[in-house]
Chain A
Amino acid sequence: SQTIHQWPATLVQPVGSPLSLECTVEGTSNPNLYWYRQAAGRGLQLLFYSVGIGQISSEVPQNLSASRPQDRQFILSSKKLLLSDSGFYLCAWSDLRGNSGNTIYFGEGSWLTVV
């Protein structure tokens, strides 16, 4: 079966510091990968998605970036965090070819507090 993991689960970072969140998927190949952010009282906002290695699409202009160095690895980064970057970050995957159809599955999430 497929699994998705992301880390770290929680982090507190000062303004201006860098960020790196990592996500890996197991049990499938060439998945579509996504980074979402969920702010309090708001719906999930898609930040980036990737359909293959090195292929990144950005949905929202921001000081974040994403990379996909391997097929099942997705990384969210920032060079300098802003207070407004605080939130719950979720990695997700979907596989159009399998039984999951276009269902999307989420990692455990990473709580980021910028202070």
Chain B
Amino acid sequence: RKEVEQDPGPFNVPEGATVAFNCTYSNSASQSFFWYRQDCRKEPKLLMSVYSSGNEDGRFTAQLNRASQYISLLIRDSKLSDSATYLCVVNPLGSNFGNEKLTFGTGTRLTIIP
């Protein structure tokens, strides 16, 4: 089993729709979780951290399910500008440690259709 696994997609979603995708991780001791957004041929950019209690930032909601070892990202009222690849990132270490153990998923490609 891969350490971090994502459905590569592509997810083709009409503008205004709600879309959700999950990311599973294999290390049950993982401590920190993130979603990054990567546009074509650009660097990944932090979208949001994922907290145990779940968190929301505008149209984006991230949730963590430790029992089933997955995180999710929900995008409501999708915009054309949401088209990108979304990377799931997992850190098995605590927040006081470095990021040398960060594990990146291969990403889920999302295309919003007008």
Contact = CB atoms under 8 A, between A and B. Distances in A.
Interface of A: 32, 34, 41-44, 46, 49, 51, 57, 59, 88, 90, 92, 94, 96, 101-109, 111
Nearest to A42: B106
Interface in B26-42: 32, 34, 41-42
Contact of A43 (B45, B95, B100, B103): B103
Contacts, number: 63
Interface residues of B, number: 27
B20 interface: no
B96 A96 contact: yes
The B interface is mostly helix, strand or loop, or mixed, namely loop
A57 B100 CA distance: 9
Contact of B44 (A32, A102, A106): A106
11 contacts: A41-B8, A43-B107, A49-B98, A88-B41, A96-B95, A96-B96, A101-B95, A103-B34, A104-B102, A108-B43, A109-B41
B91 interface: yes
A108 B42 contact: yes
B78 to A, nearest CB: 24
Nearest to B6: A43
A109 B95 contact: no
Given A104-B89, A108-B43, 6 more contacts: A32-B100, A57-B100, A92-B99, A104-B46, A105-B46, A106-B45
Interface of B: 4, 8, 32, 34, 41-46, 49, 87, 89, 91, 93, 95-100, 102-107
B5 to A, nearest CB: 10
